[in-house]
Structure 1
Amino acid sequence: MDLADPDPGCIMLLGYRHLTVAGETGILDTGETPLAGPVELHGDAVTMHLERTAPTKDAIDITAALGQDGVARGTGEAGGIHPGGTNGYACTIPLSLVPAGAVADMPPFDTIDGTWCAAYDRTSCMTIADSMVADLDNPPHSKLDDPTPGGFGDPCYGSGMTPIDPNGGGGAALYFCPKGYAIQTGSGGVEGEIIAEHDNVAFDRLYLTQNPPYLGVYFREDDLAAALQQ
Structure 2
Amino acid sequence: MEDSDESLLPVWRANLVVLTQEVGAATRLARMMTFSASYLKLMLSGQREFSEEFVRGVEAVAGLPAGWMNTAHQVSEIPANAREAIDNEMPLARFRGTAHPARKKTVLRPPEPIFGQPGSARRAEEESFDAETHRRQAHFRKVRDLAVQDVRRFERHLSQPPVELAVLRAKVEDVIAAADLEDTVHADLAGRLEQIEKHRHLLMRHVEKLQALLVKLGETE
Q: TM-score, normalised by structure 2?
A: 0.22
Question: Structure 1 or 2: larger strand share?
Answer: 1
- Please identify the structure whose Cα radius of gyration is greater: 2
**Which has a greater percent of helix?**
2
The TM-score normalised by the length of structure 1 is 0.22
